């Protein structure tokens, strides 16, 4: 089986039971002038993930392997937005440069053009940080037989970390690609990746995308 050099040790995976998860590569978070930048964040820290992710996604699709995209956002009436989240995120549902912020169906809620989902690829709309909470992700993975996940997207310390932790508790093995995940805060990016691989891989493995691409294009 393919094996990728990773931290804390080699990650061996079965192509027949591995899925690529691309978390929240949405316009609201990544585009200049969008929600993320309106909070004072440097979107360039997230946008550096786009090029390696485009390359990875092309190779993954060429190999005929499953892809799952996620989008964080809410119903227009905010009925699925936890009250505590809304209290801390008062901009949710308000008009932004790209439509109502984090509202499903708005331009800003959707995935950036460079990583537009292809026909047949699953899209998970999630109301929380983790991709398993209040979504159909578990059912999709069970149906496909996936037991190992290649995890990418944004942000490293929030939605990526939460999803990896949720996956870990459900028995999935996760490989997080350092060049394909991003944080607005470089210090969080570094520490977030260290936390995943700490103590012998307490939450998973960390590697770079070229090492994985080499294994799936042999």
Q: Encode pLDDT of 174-185 as tens digits.
A: 999 999 999 999
What is the rounded end-to-end Cα distance, in angstroms, of the chain?
12
Residue 24 designated active-site: yes
pLDDT of residue 163: 98
Per-state percent for the chain, helix, strand, coil, to nearest 5: 40, 25, 40
Q: What is the mean pLDDT of residues 26-53?
A: 97
Q: What is the mean pLDDT of residues 124-148?
A: 97
Give me the catalytic one of 81, 122, 159, 180: 159
Distance CA 140, CA 73 (A): 19
Distance CA 60, CA 123 (A): 16
Give me the catalytic one of 24, 28, 110, 125: 24
pLDDT tens track for 59-91: 999 999 999 999 999 999 999 999 999 999 999
Phi, psi (degrees; rounded to nearest 5) at 67? -125, 135
pLDDT of residue 218: 81
Residue 81 designated active-site: no
- Cα R_g (the chain), whole angstroms: 16
List the structure tokens of 20: 């690529």
CATH class of domain segment(s) 3-216: alpha beta
Phi, psi (degrees; rounded to nearest 5) at 109? -75, -25
What is the pTM for the complete model shown?
0.98
pLDDT of residue 30: 98
Those residues with Cβ within 8 angstroms of residue 19's Cβ, 6 or more apart along the chain or in another chain: 65, 66, 67, 68, 141, 144, 146, 148, 149, 150
CA distances from 112 to 25, 53, 71, 125, 185 (A): 6, 12, 11, 15, 21
Torsion of CA 136, 129, 202, 150, to 10 degrees: 60
Give the residue among 135, 111, 106, 82 at the shortest CA–CA distance from 22. Answer: 111
pLDDT tens track for 185-214: 999 999 999 999 999 999 999 999 999 999
Give me the catalytic one of 125, 126, 174, 180: 126
pLDDT of residue 68: 98
């Amino acid at each position: 089986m393919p094996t990728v050099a990773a931290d804390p040790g080699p990650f061996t995976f079965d192509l027949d039971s591995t899925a690529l998860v691309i978390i929240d590569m949405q316009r609201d978070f990544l585009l200049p002038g969008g929600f993320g930048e309106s909070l004072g964040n440097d979107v360039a820290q997230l946008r550096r993930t786009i090029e390696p992710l485009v390359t990875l996604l092309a190779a993954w699709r060429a190999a005929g392997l499953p892809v799952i995209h996620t989008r964080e956002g809410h119903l227009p009436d905010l009925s699925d937005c936890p009250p505590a989240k809304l209290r801390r995120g008062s901009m949710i549902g308000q008009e932004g440069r790209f439509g109502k912020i984090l509202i499903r169906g708005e331009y800003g809620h959707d995935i950036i053009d460079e990583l537009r989902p292809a026909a047949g690829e699953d899209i998970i709309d999630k109301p929380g940080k983790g991709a398993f909470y209040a979504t159909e992700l578990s059912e999709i993975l069970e149906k496909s037989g996936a037991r190992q996940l290649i995890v990418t997207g944004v942000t490293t310390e929030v939605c990526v970390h939460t999803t990896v932790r949720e996956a870990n508790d459900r028995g999935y093995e996760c490989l997080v690609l350092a060049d394909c995940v991003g944080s607005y805060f470089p210090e969080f990016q570094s520490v977030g990746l260290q936390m995943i691989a700490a103590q012998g891989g307490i939450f998973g493995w960390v590697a770079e995308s070229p090492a994985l691409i080499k294994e799936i294009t042999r």
